[in-house]
C-alpha cells in the first residue's frame, strides 16, 4: 500500500486523498500501469468525477512513493484516453469517464445507471409519424402506417454521450415524455408487460455532421459510433427499431468472444 506524505496530504484533491492505491512492487505488471488502471477504475465508478483535481506529478509521486517518470507515464496514458487533462497552473484534472457498454440486449439507461454514470435524458422529439420504408420493414408494418418516433439526448455527469432515435408501433405503449426523461425506454416496456427476447444489431462508425456535433458537444467531422437495432418480444414481434449515435471519445462497445467448438 502506498504511503501518503505530509506535503501530498495538504495539496492532493480531497477525492484523490480518500483513495487507497494497492501497488504491488513485486508484480511483473509495471507500476505506471497499475496506477493508471486504478485511477481509471476510480473515474469509471464515479469516485473521481469530472472537475476533480489530482494535483501535480511531484505531489502525486511523493504521496504514492513512486518516481516522477512513473507517475507521468500513468497520467499520460489516461490523458491519451481522454479521461484526464493537464491544465497549466492547475494540475491534472478529471475530464470524464468513458462509457464501456456490454454488447447485449440491454438499455443504455440501465447500463449507465448500473455503472454509476448518473444518466439524464432530454426528450427532443416524441410524436406519431408515418412509417418510412426502412422503419416499416424493421417493424413489420405497412409503409405509411402510424409509428411513434422518439429522439432523446442522453447525458452522463452533465455531458452528452449519445443521441438516440427510436421507432415503435404507435399502439404498443404510452410513451409519456416526462417518464422518458426519468427512466429508460426498455424499463417502461418491461413495466407495461412487454418481455424483450432478442434483437438484431449492427454497429458502425462515421463522421459527425454539423448538427450532430452541436448536439453532442463535438467538433464537426468527429468520429461517431453508430448502432441500428431491431428488438423483438418473446412472441417474435418487432417492438422497437433504433438508430443511435455515440461520441467515440466517450463511448465504447465491449465484446466477449468465444472460440467456436
Annotate the chain with DSSP letters as a single string.
-----HHHHHHS-HHHHT------TTSSS-HHHHHHHHHHHHHHTTSS-TT-EEE-HHHHHHHHT--HHHHHHHHHHHHHTTSEEEETTTEEEE--PPEEEESSS--HHHHHHHTT--EEEEEEEEEEEE--HHHHHHHT--TT-EEEEEEEEEEETTEEEEEEEEEEETTS----HHHHTTS-HHHHHHHTT--EEEEEEEEEEEEPPHHHHHHHT--TT-EEEEEEEEEEETTS-EEEEEEEEEETTTEEEE-------
Cβ atoms of residues 48 and 36 within 8 Å: no
pLDDT of the residue at 127: 95
Q: What is the pLDDT tens value at each position of the chain, 261 positions in all?
A: 443 333 333 334 545 666 777 788 888 888 888 888 888 888 777 778 777 887 777 777 887 888 888 888 888 888 877 678 777 777 788 876 555 544 455 555 555 556 555 678 899 999 999 999 999 999 999 999 999 999 999 888 778 888 999 999 998 988 999 999 888 888 898 899 998 888 888 889 999 999 999 999 999 999 998 989 898 988 888 999 999 998 887 776 665 555 655
Cβ neighbours of residue 176 under 8 Å, at least 6 residues apart? none
Residue 6: the pLDDT is 37
Rounded Cα gap, residues 88 and 16, in angstroms: 19
pTM above 0.95, yes or no: no
Going by C-alpha positions, the residue among 125, 187, 118 that lies closest to residue 153 is 125
Amino acid at each position: 500500500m502506498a504511503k501518503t506524505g505530509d506535503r501530498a496530504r495538504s495539496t492532493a484533491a480531497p477525492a484523490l486523498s480518500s483513495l487507497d492505491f494497492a501497488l504491488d512492487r513485486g508484480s511483473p505488471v509495471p507500476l505506471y500501469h497499475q496506477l493508471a488502471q486504478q485511477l481509471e477504475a476510480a473515474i469509471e465508478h464515479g469516485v473521481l468525477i469530472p472537475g476533480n483535481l489530482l494535483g501535480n506529478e511531484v505531489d502525486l509521486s511523493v504521496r504514492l512513493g513512486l518516481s516522477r517518470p512513473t507517475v507521468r507515464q500513468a497520467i499520460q496514458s489516461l490523458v491519451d484516453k481522454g479521461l484526464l487533462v493537464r491544465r497549466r497552473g492547475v494540475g491534472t484534472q478529471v475530464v470524464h469517464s468513458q462509457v464501456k457498454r456490454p454488447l447485449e440486449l440491454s438499455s443504455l439507461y440501465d447500463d449507465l445507471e448500473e455503472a454509476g454514470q448518473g444518466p439524464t435524458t432530454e426528450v427532443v422529439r416524441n410524436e406519431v409519424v408515418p412509417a418510412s420504408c426502412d422503419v416499416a420493414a424493421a417493424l413489420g408494418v405497412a409503409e405509411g402506417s402510424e409509428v411513434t418516433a422518439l429522439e432523446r439526448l442522453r447525458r452522463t455527469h452533465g455531458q452528452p454521450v449519445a443521441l438516440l432515435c427510436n421507432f415503435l408501433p404507435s399502439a404498443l405503449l404510452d410513451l409519456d415524455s416526462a417518464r422518458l426523461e426519468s427512466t429508460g425506454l426498455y424499463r417502461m416496456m418491461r413495466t407495461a408487460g412487454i418481455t424483450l427476447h432478442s434483437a438484431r444489431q449492427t454497429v458502425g462508425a462515421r463522421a459527425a455532421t454539423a448538427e450532430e456535433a452541436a448536439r453532442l458537444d463535438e467538433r464537426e467531422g468527429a468520429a461517431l459510433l453508430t448502432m441500428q437495432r431491431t428488438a423483438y418480444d418473446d412472441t417474435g414481434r418487432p417492438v422497437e427499431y433504433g438508430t443511435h449515435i455515440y461520441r467515440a471519445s466517450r463511448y465504447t462497445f465491449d465484446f466477449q468472444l468465444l472460440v467456436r467448438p
